Copies of this chain bind each other. A is one copy, B any other.
């Protein structure tokens, strides 16, 4: 009586993380020696752990009702991921038409996270710091709340999408007017625009995306545009990407535990973070190469801060990430993987490195 599909991915293994060097407090300029390491169970490295429900109902005349509810969790502890959200990975309802596309409301990833990694990331937006999102923060599997999203159908390989979020993270705050009001909740709403285009035809893949988040408080506004392209030579598939970020950071990467408890977390790039004056150019060159039942994955990424945020102290250096991975299919739904990734000058700190080594098992149901 119901057309719902129950699905999921489980991913767990063993790994080693190390973040090492010195950290500069961007407010005081003081340098501190820093080392953090961990050997243990890893999970969600290739793909975040999830279970979900999705469905589609044919309404006639090429029209369909579509929905997807996807719940993320930590396999090590069983806790919900995405800040404790029940359906933190996706919660959408929409109408889809063969001729005009699909319109969804709810929480889901932005266009850059949908279109760019599929074209330009050998690691398919997975594998921790190896994923393209480490340098291209708007493509870092960023999810927005309260999002209205429209995407065209695929026209001869072309697809276009555009979305607007009334508040990218959390319930939309009211616009309040009353005497003595200190902070208007509406000014804390992160209003997001996401748009982009992708093209996939034969060996060629191309993606172009643009994202902007605006907070009325402090007139904060930050943007990112990205370009990606790939060509499949069959023995190897080559990928390149370039992007520019201005005045903030979208979906951040946490390289290690925070240095300054309750203060600036100088080992994280931060999420939905306005950083006036920051300019970053991002680059990626990567490849995948099929080898029997396996696939080799490799990329070099760089995030180059050509201008530092206003008032931030210390040097802002180029962050490089070198990654090598291997996946081997045990079946269509199950594979093992190995990953090694080294990043230097992480969070643009001139003497801070991050290393990730791991092996794991991934199963899709």
Would you call B10 and A175 a contact (CB within 8 A)?
Answer: no
Neighbouring B residues of A157 by C-beta, 8 Å: none
A319 to B180, CA, bound (A): 27
A86 to B81, CA, bound (A): 9
A210 to B175, CA, bound (A): 39
Would you call A85 and B79 a contact (CB within 8 A)?
Answer: yes
Residue-wise, chain A 55-71 has the 8 Å CB interface mask toward B (1 for contact) of 10101100101010101
Please judge, given known A-B contacts A35-B176, A35-B177, whether A53 and B51 are in contact too, CB under 8 Å.
Answer: yes
**A309 proximal to B (CB < 8 A):** no
Write the nearest CB–CB distance from A84 to chain B, whole angstroms: 8
**A80 proximal to B (CB < 8 A):** yes
Would you call A171 and B67 a contact (CB within 8 A)?
Answer: no
Residue from the list B32, B59, B79 in contact with A179, Cβ < 8 A: B32
Would you call A32 and B257 a contact (CB within 8 A)?
Answer: no
Would you call A257 and B185 a contact (CB within 8 A)?
Answer: yes
A363 to B65, CA, bound (A): 7
Neighbouring B residues of A175 by C-beta, 8 Å: 36-38
Write the nearest CB–CB distance from A213 to chain B, whole angstroms: 16
Please judge, given known A-B contacts A4-B6, A179-B32, whether A76 and B106 are in contact too, CB under 8 Å.
Answer: yes
Would you call A95 and B43 a contact (CB within 8 A)?
Answer: no
A148 to B91, CA, bound (A): 32
Binds B, one of A192-200, A229-237, A329-337: A329-337
Would you call A77 and B145 a contact (CB within 8 A)?
Answer: yes
Neighbouring B residues of A246 by C-beta, 8 Å: none
Residue-wise, chain A 112-155 has the 8 Å CB interface mask toward B (1 for contact) of 00000000000000000000000000000000011110000000
Would you call B77 and A85 a contact (CB within 8 A)?
Answer: yes
Would you call A10 and B145 a contact (CB within 8 A)?
Answer: no
Neighbouring B residues of A77 by C-beta, 8 Å: 85, 91, 107, 145-146, 170-171
Identity of the chain B residue whose Cβ is nearest the Cβ of A17 in the assembled complex: B174
Would you call A330 and B148 a contact (CB within 8 A)?
Answer: no
**A259 proximal to B (CB < 8 A):** yes
Write the nearest CB–CB distance from A272 to chain B, whole angstroms: 14
**A2 proximal to B (CB < 8 A):** yes
Would you call A12 and B93 a contact (CB within 8 A)?
Answer: yes
Identity of the chain B residue whose Cβ is nearest the Cβ of A2 in the assembled complex: B365
Neighbouring B residues of A5 by C-beta, 8 Å: 1-2
Neighbouring B residues of A333 by C-beta, 8 Å: 57, 65
A363 to B333, CA, bound (A): 30
A34 to B176, CA, bound (A): 8
A75 to B10, CA, bound (A): 24
Would you call A8 and B172 a contact (CB within 8 A)?
Answer: no
Identity of the chain B residue whose Cβ is nearest the Cβ of A178 in the assembled complex: B34
**A248 proximal to B (CB < 8 A):** no
Would you call A65 and B334 a contact (CB within 8 A)?
Answer: yes
A82 to B86, CA, bound (A): 12
**A33 proximal to B (CB < 8 A):** yes
Which of A14-39 touch B at CB < 8 Å?
Answer: 14, 17, 23, 32-39
**A7 proximal to B (CB < 8 A):** yes
Neighbouring B residues of A74 by C-beta, 8 Å: 91, 171
Neighbouring B residues of A13 by C-beta, 8 Å: 105
**A73 proximal to B (CB < 8 A):** yes
